[in-house]
């Protein structure tokens, strides 16, 4: 399985499924695309992401540091990293899919993208 989400902690709503899949012997992988808004926030969120990953027992975890828009930017429709960067995001996701070769991918849908993540 591959869990692919924009932020550290987005996958936590799937923690029960992740634990169950690991118990059943599945390989479970995580791709996270952002780390946070600023250096202090990034350090804390990456630390929490790592600790959660150790508890859940992912086989592979990768975190990138793409721009993370603030809630103000999202609500004000002034996203600085969006559709114009889809090629880069798709390439990163494609490489990780090729690396782990999952049977199942869990992510946001491709219509609204969950909180406007296309």
Per-residue model confidence as pLDDT tens digits over 13-61: 899 999 999 999 999 999 999 898 888 889 999 999 999 999 999 999 9
CATH code (residue 83): 3.40.50.10320
pLDDT at 38: 82
Q: What is the largest CA-CA distance in the chain?
A: 44
Evaluate if residue 85 carries a pLDDT over 90: no
What is the spatial distance between Cα 56 and Cα 51, in angstroms, rounded to a whole number? 9
In a domain, 118, yes or no: no
DSSP 36: -
In a domain, 15, yes or no: yes
Domain that holds residue 53: 2-106
- The domain total for the chain is 1
Q: Which residue has the higher pLDDT, 79 or 51?
A: 51
pLDDT at 115: 54
Give the pTM: 0.83
**Helical (H) or strand (E) element with 93:** helix 86-100
Average pLDDT (98-110) is 90
């Amino acid at each position: 399985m591959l869990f692919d989400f924009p932020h550290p902690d987005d996958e936590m709503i799937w923690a029960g499924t992740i634990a169950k899949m690991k118990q059943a012997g599945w390989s479970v992988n995580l791709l996270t695309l952002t780390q946070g808004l600023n250096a202090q926030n990034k350090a804390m969120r990456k630390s929490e992401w790592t600790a959660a990953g150790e508890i859940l027992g992912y086989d592979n975890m990768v975190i990138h540091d793409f721009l993370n828009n603030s809630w103000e930017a999202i609500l004000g429709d002034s996203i600085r990293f969006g559709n114009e960067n889809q090629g880069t995001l798709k390439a990163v996701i494609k490489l990780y899919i090729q690396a782990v070769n999952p049977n199942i991918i869990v992510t946001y849908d491709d219509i609204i993208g969950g909180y406007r993540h296309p």
